[in-house]
Chain A
Amino acid sequence: EDKVVQSPLSLVVHEGDTVTLNCSYEVTNFRSLLWYKQEKKAPTFLFMLTSSGIEKKSGRLSSILDKKELSSILNITATQTGDSAIYLCAVETGTASKLTFGTGTRLQVTL
């Protein structure tokens, strides 16, 4: 059974801090790893990672995949209160393109 685990489960930081969210996976037929941000309703797409060691960056967010360690990290620098959300990691597997989501990390950024 495919498994995706995220840590920590929840995190409270002060505005301006840098945070690192972790995602590890045990799946068969890995195709890609994706990060989503979920606020009140539907998840919004952040990154899609397919190649190991290549950092993807968007503003204060960045992410990298390590296929050897079967993991990925999502970094957020200079956090803002608007970064408060649940961050979901998902792994795409198989020819049927199935997505398995991780447990999510609930991030709260306080003033």
Chain B
Amino acid sequence: GAVVSQHPSRVICKSGTSVKIECRSLDFQATTMFWYRQFPKQSLMLMATSNEGSKATYEQGVEKDKFLINHASLTLSTLTVTSAHPEDSSFYICSASSGQGFGELFFGEGSRLTVL
């Protein structure tokens, strides 16, 4: 089946630094990728939708200058958390759509970010 690879799985950084998380679709072309954030014991919250070659669409309340999303190719999207602060510590998950509907939406393994 289709696989989405997310890297790194864990990252610890100091406050004020920037962190980049990569999301790759390994065996299909993902025209659309989604980035979610999940706080402990809470559901997935959609942050933004990224389409290859165009600017990401951010959900209300998500700071686009803080969470930079780039979808440079049909197999790679990146989320950069800029000037990270402890409140940005969370579990970030990406998903990729092959365009065949959400039954064909594949999730990455997630990245746990801890900001000290």
Interface residues of A (CB under 8 A from B): 32, 34, 41-45, 48, 88, 90, 92, 96-104, 106
Top 10 A-B pairs ranked by shortest CB distance?
A: A42-B107, A48-B103, A101-B44, A101-B43, A104-B43, A41-B109, A41-B110, A92-B102, A103-B43, A42-B109
Total interface residues on B, CB under 8 Å, equals 22
B115 at the interface (CB under 8 A from A): no
Residue of B nearest to A104 (CB): B43
Give the residues in chain A near B46, CB-CB below 8 Å. Answer: 98-101
B102 adjacent to A88 (CB under 8 Å) = no
Given known contacts A42-B107, A97-B97, A98-B49, is B43 in contact with A32 (CB within 8 Å)?
no
- Taking the closest CB of chain A, its distance from the CB of B34, in whole angstroms, is 7
- Taking the closest CB of chain B, its distance from the CB of A93, in whole angstroms, is 11
B57 at the interface (CB under 8 A from A): yes
A99 adjacent to B93 (CB under 8 Å) = no
Give A34 to B103 CA distance when docked, in angstroms. Answer: 8
Give A89 to B27 CA distance when docked, in angstroms. Answer: 26
Given known contacts A32-B101, A48-B103, A92-B102, is B110 in contact with A103 (CB within 8 Å)?
no
A88 adjacent to B43 (CB under 8 Å) = yes
Give A32 to B105 CA distance when docked, in angstroms. Answer: 13
B32 at the interface (CB under 8 A from A): yes
A48 adjacent to B43 (CB under 8 Å) = no
A102 adjacent to B43 (CB under 8 Å) = yes
Give the residues in chain B near A104, CB-CB below 8 Å. Answer: 42-43
Pick the contact of B110: A42, A98, A102 (CB < 8 A). Answer: A42
Give the residues in chain A near B93, CB-CB below 8 Å. Answer: 41-43
- Taking the closest CB of chain A, its distance from the CB of B93, in whole angstroms, is 6
